[in-house]
Amino acid sequence: MATDQPHSDAEVDDLTQPASTGLGPALRRAWLGYQLRLDAAMAEAGFGERRFPDGRVLRLCSGQAGSTISAIGRELGITRQGASKVVEHLRDRGYVTVADSATSRREKSVMLTPRGVDYLQTQRAAARAIEDELRAALGETGFSGLHALLDALDDGEMTRMRTYLRRSVGN
């Protein structure tokens, strides 16, 4: 029931403070913990300069034909110019090569270098190691329960962050 009475400072403070319990905060902490473990494993393997969205872009370029800057921009939900900056940063660090496209004079093809392939293999191995640690800590029943929880949160579609963000800002 809404009233026209002003809220006390304690009530306002309570609303501005993030909830420390609940599923949402737990999922955020879990995601951050997973990323920190992955960052540490990648740094230990010699990939300490990694940043978002390096792994995602490298996966996009991992096919036989690589990818294009435009396709990377579409996948990330950013402009072609933004994608060019991301690709340039990866090229400067030796993860990709950039060449004129065989099919379009206006487009650039992005292909993995051996260092880019090594990055993805190292990332996959680190992710498997984290999963194995969690499976050992939780036991098979607990680990299966965790997966069941995460699957229950899935809306049944191919959930993509860029789709969610576009819907949430009205684009």
Q: Where are the domains of the chain?
A: 50-148
Smallest Cα–Cα separation from 75: which of 63, 64, 113?
Answer: 63
- How many Å apart are CA 138 and CA 120, to the nearest integer? 27
DSSP string, 134-155: HHHHHHHHHHHHHHHHHHHHS-
The tens digit of pLDDT for each residue in 3-61 reads: 555 555 555 555 555 556 789 999 999 999 999 999 999 999 999 887 778 889 999 99
- What is 50-148's CATH topology? Arc Repressor Mutant, subunit A (1.10.10)
Q: How much is the pTM?
A: 0.76
Give the tokens for residue 72: 């990377």
Q: What is the pLDDT of residues 114-133, one digit of tens each?
A: 999 999 999 999 999 999 99
- Please determine, for residue 149, whether its predicted confidence score (pLDDT) is greater than 50: yes
Token pair of 80, please?
Answer: 């072609």
